[in-house]
Amino acid sequence: MMFRRALIAPLRFNTGLKLCEDAHFCLRAFMLGAVIFTDEVLADVRRHDGNASQDVGEMAIAQLKALRALDQHVTGKHVTAYHDRLVKAQVDAAIHRIRSGWRHYRECLSIPGSRRRKLKGLVRMALSVF
């Protein structure tokens, strides 16, 4: 993405976000207007195993936080699209949290210990889904 300096001059990166601060910045720039799209490739992004975006679950939670940080900036014609995207991000984060919770529960089954405690944990996990 490329921006005219005059357009983004008042914008700053949100240093409170660990991930997705660039997405937050770009969405704010988009809401300022004067944005165009082109199919022409203007830059390449280097992807590798060390990229933060490799952890899909963490990215889902980070995207939700970045979108939530836009709450005070979204107005007018962008509100409906923002709410739709916020709902999707909330669902994506919830799915990750459920999956990671079940992963932790499965790991606890391999630990020697009380079957009763493990059963209680299973009940708690199931109830947290509903």
Under 8 Å between Cβ of 21 and 15: yes
Q: Is residue 46 part of a domain?
A: no
Global model pTM greater than 0.75:
no
Q: Which of 83, 67, 85, 56 is nearest to 26 (CA)?
A: 67
Q: Is residue 109 part of a domain?
A: yes
Under 8 Å between Cβ of 95 and 60: yes
Q: How many domains does the chain have?
A: 1
Model pLDDT for residues 52-71, shown as the tens digit of each residue = 666 777 888 888 888 888 88
How far is the first Cα of the chain from the last one, in angstroms, to the nearest whole number?
41
For 86, the domain range is 13-36+51-129
| Res. 129 pLDDT band, cuts 50 70 90 | low
Model pLDDT for residues 73-127, shown as the tens digit of each residue = 888 888 888 888 888 888 888 777 777 777 767 777 777 778 888 888 778 777 7
